[in-house]
A and B are shown apart, each in its own frame.
Chain A
């Protein structure tokens, strides 16, 4: 028997709470320490990713707006899209996620057709227990998803 609290069975706990099982993602540590504050660190990472995606699209002459005209019809495209919408709904709830998509269409990040498709998908997500307004950081992460989806074949 071990009483090490770091070795508990998360799946058992989720089953007890009546929560749906989720795919195990990521690892629990081992990264080196960074000096920037957390938000700075996260922004730097997002900007680096955006810059890389932008450079690639510039090379392919794909930089005109709207950036995303349709969700790529592939498993990877659907997975990325699912992850993005899961994030938006988990943070802000279904209504704010739909409002955000409307906003992204106004900014010409996405086309009206892509907006309609995404809004349909949003309806499939359950409402979170806690929600809040979306922040600039959340929209930046959305732009990263838009750029990622646009870069997929």
Chain B
């Protein structure tokens, strides 16, 4: 089925003393990531959180496709059921359940596993209830299930090789597709969890699509998937280079165009808006309510996670602009793979849980 698997030799969270498989899961609005030990190696599965169904022409049975294959083969009917971060209604919960079941069955993960989910901290009780159903119906995790904030799980690999982040006082910022989350953690305790849907990776995609139309003087319209691909492939704060692409004209022939500013301008706006939200909403509140943790945490590296943190150089630009806004030096760190970090952190916690059973 359509997904990417890769070995991660950086941290082997497998447990020698336990046979229970520890699994880390990030059910993201755009991508879902699973991490678990398999044959002595760390297996990472990264796939689009989407599902498409079709009827088998011969048997008449309903067939299910998920991930990249579904997005490529059924772009017109494919459903991204966690678009807002959580399943919003029963239909989307049922789709999410079907998607997740298909995904874990394809990986052959044992049912009696310990599973830790990295969950976005969104104020949406109905969405959380629906997600609870999805997790309860999942074929894995019969041994134990836990869930922790995505920003905490994501900070774990950014702050060290094991679980050092748990015993630290620090700030984590998660730059996701549908939310910007931030939270201070004091020895694993949450202080001032903050989340906004106003500054998101999806909004960057929309702005890129609009900017491309404007830059090409209305000759080129791209969809949001193409905009996201432009962002992921060409967005670069260190070394951006203008690029060319080609579209087929409706009447035949093709049109080649060059993009110079339609990717980086929306990305620059995103960083400015993220800095404004973090400095003037989240940190203001934190300074107001927890003076000493604020002082300590701002002296430590801020952990940056989430899909948007994968844009080359974004951590450095965020660090520079946040320092300017606060009028004091701050440092920002990101995991090697910010898009995988939440699942990696969740897997490390799951490994410890499995070890202690």
The answer to whether A and B interact is yes
Interface residues of A (CB under 8 A from B): 1-6, 8, 10, 13-14, 16-20, 22, 24-29, 31, 33-34, 36-39, 41-42, 45-46, 83, 87, 90-91, 129-130, 132, 135, 137-138, 141
Task: Compute the total of residue contacts between A and B using a CB distance below 8 Å.
Answer: 149
A106 CB, min distance to chain B CBs, angstroms: 23
B187 CB, min distance to chain A CBs, angstroms: 5
- Contacts of A17 on B, CB cut-off 8 Å? 162-164, 166-167, 188, 352
The reply to whether A37 and B327 form a contact with Cβ atoms under 8 Å apart is yes
The reply to whether A16 and B356 form a contact with Cβ atoms under 8 Å apart is yes
The reply to whether B132 and A37 form a contact with Cβ atoms under 8 Å apart is no
Interface residues of B in 117-167 (CB under 8 A from A): 117-121, 128, 131-132, 135-136, 145-150, 159-160, 162-164, 166-167
What is the bound-complex CA distance between A3 and B352, given in angstroms?
Answer: 19
The reply to whether A16 and B353 form a contact with Cβ atoms under 8 Å apart is yes
What is the bound-complex CA distance between A96 and B296, given in angstroms?
Answer: 14
Given contacts A5-B147, A22-B186, 6 further A-B contacts (CB under 8 A): A10-B188, A16-B163, A20-B167, A38-B279, A38-B283, A45-B288
Q: Please judge, given known A-B contacts A5-B121, A33-B281, A138-B295, whether A42 and B287 are in contact too, CB under 8 Å.
A: yes
The reply to whether A37 and B280 form a contact with Cβ atoms under 8 Å apart is yes
The reply to whether B147 and A137 form a contact with Cβ atoms under 8 Å apart is no
Chain B's closest residue to A29 (CB) is B192
Chain A's closest residue to B185 (CB) is A10
Chain A's closest residue to B189 (CB) is A10
- Contacts of B119 on A, CB cut-off 8 Å? 3-5
Chain B, residues 314-357, CB within 8 Å of chain A (1/0): the string is 00000000000111100000000000000000000100110010
- Contacts of A5 on B, CB cut-off 8 Å? 118-121, 147-150
The reply to whether B135 and A39 form a contact with Cβ atoms under 8 Å apart is no
Chain A's closest residue to B356 (CB) is A16
Q: Please judge, given known A-B contacts A19-B187, A37-B279, A91-B295, whether A8 and B192 are in contact too, CB under 8 Å.
A: no
Count of chain B residues with a beta carbon within 8 Å of a chain A beta carbon? 60
Check: B10 CB closer than 8 A to any chain A CB.
no
A-B pairs with beta carbons under 8 Å apart, 6 shown = A3-B135, A8-B147, A27-B289, A28-B190, A34-B288, A87-B295
Check: B246 CB closer than 8 A to any chain A CB.
no
Chain A's closest residue to B327 (CB) is A39
Check: B172 CB closer than 8 A to any chain A CB.
no
- Contacts of B325 on A, CB cut-off 8 Å? 37
Chain A's closest residue to B291 (CB) is A42
Chain B, residues 158-184, CB within 8 Å of chain A (1/0): the string is 011011101111000000000000000
The reply to whether B284 and A41 form a contact with Cβ atoms under 8 Å apart is yes
What is the bound-complex CA distance between A10 and B190, given in angstroms?
Answer: 8
Chain A's closest residue to B166 (CB) is A17
The reply to whether A130 and B135 form a contact with Cβ atoms under 8 Å apart is no
Check: B285 CB closer than 8 A to any chain A CB.
yes
What is the bound-complex CA distance between A17 and B301, given in angstroms?
Answer: 20
The reply to whether A1 and B166 form a contact with Cβ atoms under 8 Å apart is no
- Contacts of A20 on B, CB cut-off 8 Å? 167
A11 CB, min distance to chain B CBs, angstroms: 8
What is the bound-complex CA distance between A129 and B187, given in angstroms?
Answer: 12
Check: B309 CB closer than 8 A to any chain A CB.
no
Check: B191 CB closer than 8 A to any chain A CB.
yes
A125 CB, min distance to chain B CBs, angstroms: 13
The reply to whether A132 and B288 form a contact with Cβ atoms under 8 Å apart is no
Check: B110 CB closer than 8 A to any chain A CB.
no
Chain B's closest residue to A133 (CB) is B299
Chain A's closest residue to B153 (CB) is A5
- Contacts of A46 on B, CB cut-off 8 Å? 291
The reply to whether A42 and B295 form a contact with Cβ atoms under 8 Å apart is yes
- By Cβ-Cβ distance, the 3 closest A-B pairs, closest first, are A17-B166, A19-B167, A38-B287
The reply to whether B128 and A4 form a contact with Cβ atoms under 8 Å apart is yes
Q: Please judge, given known A-B contacts A5-B150, A45-B291, whether A14 and B167 are in contact too, CB under 8 Å.
A: yes
- Contacts of A31 on B, CB cut-off 8 Å? 285, 288-289
- Contacts of B300 on A, CB cut-off 8 Å? 130, 132
Check: B286 CB closer than 8 A to any chain A CB.
yes
Check: B294 CB closer than 8 A to any chain A CB.
yes
- Contacts of A18 on B, CB cut-off 8 Å? 163, 167
What is the bound-complex CA distance between A90 and B170, given in angstroms?
Answer: 11
Q: Please judge, given known A-B contacts A2-B132, A31-B285, A31-B289, whether A16 and B352 are in contact too, CB under 8 Å.
A: yes
